[in-house]
Amino acid sequence: MKAIDTLIGDQPEHWDLDGQIPRHLLSTLGAQGWLCAEVAATHGGRGLSSRANGELTAHVGSRCSSLRSVMTSQGMAAWTIQRLANRDQSAELLPQLVSGRLAAVGFSETDAGSDLSTMSTTITLDGDSVVLDGHKVWVTGAYYADLLVVFGQCDGGAAAVVVPASAPGVTVERVADPMGCRAAGHANLRFDSVRLPASSVLGSPGAPLPLLVTTALAYGRISVAWGCVGILRACRNTAARHAATRKQSGKPIGEHQLVGRHLAELFVAEQTASRACEHASDCWDAGSPDMVISTVLAKHVSAGHAATGAASAVQVMASAGARDGHVVARAYRDAKLMEIIEGSNEICQLILAQHAVSTAE
């Protein structure tokens, strides 16, 4: 982590204000394997467990949610390739993702958000080629990406295809002024008759869309959940340090019980989110059947706590944290978006409700 901290330095505030992380820094982190650290050593990766990668993700998330978001996209691309690709595709693509090439994953469309079954992007098989037509919106990291993993309808089912961002017919347009994670390189993508070798389709075309999407989203969810743990750690530490030193009415503000309550709530939030994420990662590492549901639970708990925790931290900091770029101001904006992505609060609740019903004794 020290190596990463050295590279990050004191830049996150500036990245947030500039809306950009230097591309060479992302390539360096990528080439050191940090952006998708679970990729196996056989493919040149660091081969971290889910738990170890989770702690890494939380640490990066505590420093900069934009960088953590790019990490989530890269990890999600690697996980999708690992799960869907055949052996030759994995051997070709995974080493690229741990040697400096950047990737992003596109599911969402203008009319396909929470309900991805209405996705209109098509992947058409044509002899030795496939042709990609359609669009994607809000794809994290796509502004920086060399490779785009794109989901679309294909052959009576669905497929994921790997597209070079520089391929003829691909248009990448940056999302202007995102509310949070401002340097995460969100972009809208258009694909106009993009012709690719048939081998660009990961695995077999025509698989059920929910199966493909759930596979990729599972990684996105656990990564976002750990990122939220990082947001909470940064908020708790920053607010607690301030509350111990800032004096009003003759004593440190942390000794006023109403401020103390915010700190207690932040501590509870951080601990609760951490335990939920640790449990989910342990399920991943054990290959447990509870992996999917524990991940949805961790994402839901962590994102909700991060959004309320960041608001508490801003309250404790008051004017000392009330400017763009400040760690708690970034946390406040970034955390809210975590309640929307990779399955919004409501979608997570629907999944958890279904689980509650199906497992009732």
Report the interface residues with ligand FAD, using CB under 6 A. 73, 105-108, 113-114, 136, 138-140, 181, 186, 337, 340-341, 344, 346-347, 350
Query: What whole-number distance in Å separates Cα of residue 334 and Cα of residue 218?
Result: 20
In angstroms, give the least distance from the CB of 348 to ligand FAD.
Answer: 9
In angstroms, give the least distance from the CB of 107 to ligand FAD.
Answer: 4
Widest Cα–Cα separation across the chain: 79
Query: What whole-number distance in Å separates Cα of residue 95 and Cα of residue 97?
Result: 5
DSSP string, 317-353: HGGGG-STTSHHHHHHHHHHHHTTSSS-HHHHHHHHH
Nearest partner of 110 among 143, 86, 139, 71, judged by Cα:
139
Cα–Cα distances in angstroms (integers) from residue 161 to residues 154, 194, 242, in the given order: 10, 11, 49
Query: What whole-number distance in Å separates Cα of residue 19 and Cα of residue 28?
Result: 19
Other C-beta atoms closer than 10 Å to the C-beta of 358 total 8
In angstroms, give the least distance from the CB of 214 to ligand FAD.
Answer: 13
Query: Which CB atom, from 59 or from 136, has the smaller least distance to ligand FAD?
Result: 136
In angstroms, give the least distance from the CB of 160 to ligand FAD.
Answer: 12
Query: Which CB atom, from 52 or from 340, has the smaller least distance to ligand FAD?
Result: 340
In angstroms, give the least distance from the CB of 72 to ligand FAD.
Answer: 8
Query: Which CB atom, from 103 or from 243, has the smaller least distance to ligand FAD?
Result: 103
Query: Which CB atom, from 86 or from 349, has the smaller least distance to ligand FAD?
Result: 349
Query: Which CB atom, from 130 or from 224, has the smaller least distance to ligand FAD?
Result: 224
**Looking at beta carbons, which residue is closest to ligand FAD?**
113
